[in-house]
Structure 1
Amino acid sequence: MSNLTDMEIFARVVSAGSMSAAGREMNLSPAVVSKRIRRLEEKLGTRLLQRTTRQIAMTEAGQGFYERVIAILASVEEAESFVARGSAKARGNLKVAVPTSFGRLHIAPHLGKFLAENSDLTINLDLSDDFVDIVGEGYDLAIRIAELSDSSLVARRLAPVHRILCASPDYVNKHGEPLSIGDLANHVTIAATNQDPWRLSGPDGIETIRTHAPIKTNSNEVVRECLLAGVGVALRSTWDVGPELRAGKLQVLLPQYRALKDVGIYAVYPSRQFLPAKVRVFIDFLANLYGSSPYWDEGLDDWLRLPGDALAD
């Protein structure tokens, strides 16, 4: 926006985490930023921020005000974009939170094409496996691979997720192939700490498998590398190991069993009356790129069409 309002300065301070950081973004001194925040609080008759020497935190009133302010600012940005360049033109900076592995494999390689099509956009792409506070941390949207139940956010499903049990041929040659779900008790089974236990659906109903391995980790990327190195059996998404399955570096085990949870890949964003063009074009770009039959599942039909698929999406 050409004219910085007190509301926008407040939103920038919350997003940046401090007045000095927000001031650097807006080319304002910390003293000016502090004065504008005080003026806003005096006008509203309530304290919005608690200040310490190192950080700021929103009061309860500040949190509610912030949620409404960003909706207002988004609507104003959309209106300015419509008048200046047309409603279909996206511009500005897009702040996106993405899971680490998925962002590296399936977002980053396509950013060049997206930015070539949207030359007035810049992207701040944060890779993290934590569920970030989209509103509180000032994100325009997040990509999440999960079951979603938070009704305070808007979510658009971008693609299904198929998860299957697999291991490297070296591991199978050394330890044998499990022929039943019970056989997994005699195998090394690897999972990140937040994905243990596995809940699988198969011919005999739902099975709960607690993993056991000489390695404990909170990183899905570590699990993936251990899987490829022949350490054990893992439950992996085809978006993560599709190329290795097609190349024979991994093989599917117990294909009649699939992950029970209804997990999908979603674009999640704050509920707003007017969706900014920059958010809309990015979500549309990913939806068209992935779709109901995403490219990472190509060549895997023989495994993905087996019984249990309705529960594995």
Structure 2
Amino acid sequence: MTNLGDLEIFAKVVSTGSMSLAGRALGFSPAVVSKRIKRLEDRLGTRLLQRTTRQISLTEAGQGFYDRVLGILAGIEEAEYYISGRSAQMHGTLKVTAPTSFGRTHVAPHLKSFMDMHPGLAIHLVLSDEFTDIVGEGFDLAIRIAELTDSSLVARRLAPVRRLLCASPDYLATNGTPQTIEDLKQHRCLPAHNNDAWRLEGPEGPLSLRPEGMLVTNSSEVVREAVISGLGIALRSTWDISRELKDGRLVHILTAYEGSRNVTLSAVYPSRQFLPAKVRLFIDYLAEVYGPVPYWERSMV
């Protein structure tokens, strides 16, 4: 009978596209991974992977075998999930990446409750505002706030994202309140940390404008602090500024316009067919915490 560990190694090599990345994720050297793959191929009497200096790809037999291996591994995960659900225990490490500000304010505060429910599960949380290759870097899932376009990944929507134009009362008192979108050209605007255009929806439909300002930064948190301090006008998410809007430190302006509704808060993971129970549990937990109307929206009412 084929060693179950060989199947796990094979699946990880395929999902990462690299023996070294698979080994890193599983705690093996590339040489051990290569040896285990060869042992599997020798036992089956067929080549599963085509190897070149640049990439690894599945043979026709390998593709069919991989599809079936995913079903086997998923079945084992389901069995473990059943047992862990009965014993209220989940073991292993969950590796998650999230945007810096959102992770600090809306993921970190909820970790204790989740980890109290699953004391055997360790969480490795990496916060970054840069794009993360979750497969290549071995993450189980990523929390993303974006328009998702990568069809090789699977996404589950966790909550809507509302982005509003806002400024501090001091800024508006000094510079006036814009009455039209065209008025923004006469104001100091604070571009997003990646300097993307503002994609808005308003009475005339979708529109795009590229704000120009004196501040350029790679930090979304710097933009947040700059708009609160009165440096200019920004397009910010309600999850980030709901408290400031409620207590008056920021004012919602040009209320007929909001950021594109195609931007959502989502959990992104590599495969629908082989979703580890620990990943499913964490995604379900976050979806319940945020809810269809997120708590940061409810706090503004």
Q: What is the TM-score of this pair, normalised by structure 2?
A: 0.80
- The answer to whether structure 1 residue 121 and structure 2 residue 109 are counterparts is no
- Contact 1:75 / 1:276 at 8 angstroms: preserved in 2? no
Gaps of 5+ in 2: none
What is the rounded CA distance, in whole Å, between the counterparts of 2:207 and 2:273 in structure 1? Answer: 43
Letter in 1 for 2:234: A
Shift of 1:299: 3.9
What is the rounded CA distance, in whole Å, between the counterparts of 1:67 and 1:243 in structure 2? Answer: 49
2:56 corresponds in structure 1 to 59
1:45 corresponds in structure 2 to 47
What is the rounded CA distance, in whole Å, between the counterparts of 1:166 and 1:94 in structure 2? Answer: 36
What is the rounded CA distance, in whole Å, between the counterparts of 1:300 and 1:264 in structure 2? Answer: 19
1:269 corresponds in structure 2 to 269
Distance 1:201 1:82, change over 3 A: closer
Gaps of 5+ in 1: 52-56, 302-313
What is the rounded CA distance, in whole Å, between the counterparts of 1:262 and 1:24 in structure 2? Answer: 33
What is the rounded CA distance, in whole Å, between the counterparts of 1:214 and 1:129 in structure 2? Answer: 21
- Contact 2:187 / 2:233 at 8 angstroms: preserved in 1? yes
2:222 corresponds in structure 1 to 222
Distance 1:24 1:199, change over 3 A: closer
Distance 1:228 1:256, change over 3 A: same
Letter in 2 for 1:61: L
2:175 corresponds in structure 1 to 175
Q: Aligned ranges for residues 259-298 of structure 1 at < 5 Å? A: 259-273=259-273, 275-298=275-298
1:208 corresponds in structure 2 to 208
Distance 1:80 1:59, change over 3 A: same
- Contact 2:17 / 2:55 at 8 angstroms: preserved in 1? no
1:308 corresponds in structure 2 to none
Letter in 2 for 1:235: L
Q: Secondary structure at the match of 1:192?
A: coil
Distance 1:255 1:147, change over 3 A: same
Number of aligned residues: 292
Distance 1:22 1:251, change over 3 A: same
What is the rounded CA distance, in whole Å, between the counterparts of 1:208 and 1:197 in structure 2? Answer: 6
- Contact 2:189 / 2:211 at 8 angstroms: preserved in 1? yes
What is the rounded CA distance, in whole Å, between the counterparts of 1:20 and 1:251 in structure 2? Answer: 47
Shift of 1:259: 1.4
Q: Secondary structure at the match of 1:104?
A: helix
Shift of 1:81: 4.0
What is the rounded CA distance, in whole Å, between the counterparts of 1:32 and 1:208 in structure 2? Answer: 52
Q: What is the TM-score of this pair, normalised by structure 1?
A: 0.77
Q: Aligned ranges for residues 55-204 of structure 1 at < 5 Å? A: 58-61=55-58, 72-83=72-83, 86=86, 90-192=90-192, 194=194, 196-204=196-204
What is the rounded CA distance, in whole Å, between the counterparts of 1:85 and 1:292 in structure 2? Answer: 25
Letter in 1 for 2:162: H
What is the rounded CA distance, in whole Å, between the counterparts of 2:84 and 2:185 in structure 1? Answer: 63
Distance 1:33 1:168, change over 3 A: same
Letter in 2 for 1:45: R
What is the rounded CA distance, in whole Å, between the counterparts of 1:23 and 1:283 in structure 2? Answer: 24
Distance 1:20 1:267, change over 3 A: closer
Q: Aligned ranges for residues 3-18 of structure 1 at < 5 Å? A: 5-10=5-10
Q: Secondary structure at the match of 1:267?
A: strand
Percent identity among equivalent residues? Answer: 53
Write out per-residue CA displacement over residues 235-280 of structure 1, whole angstroms, 9 at most, x where no aligned residue.
0000011112222221111112111342221122334346432122
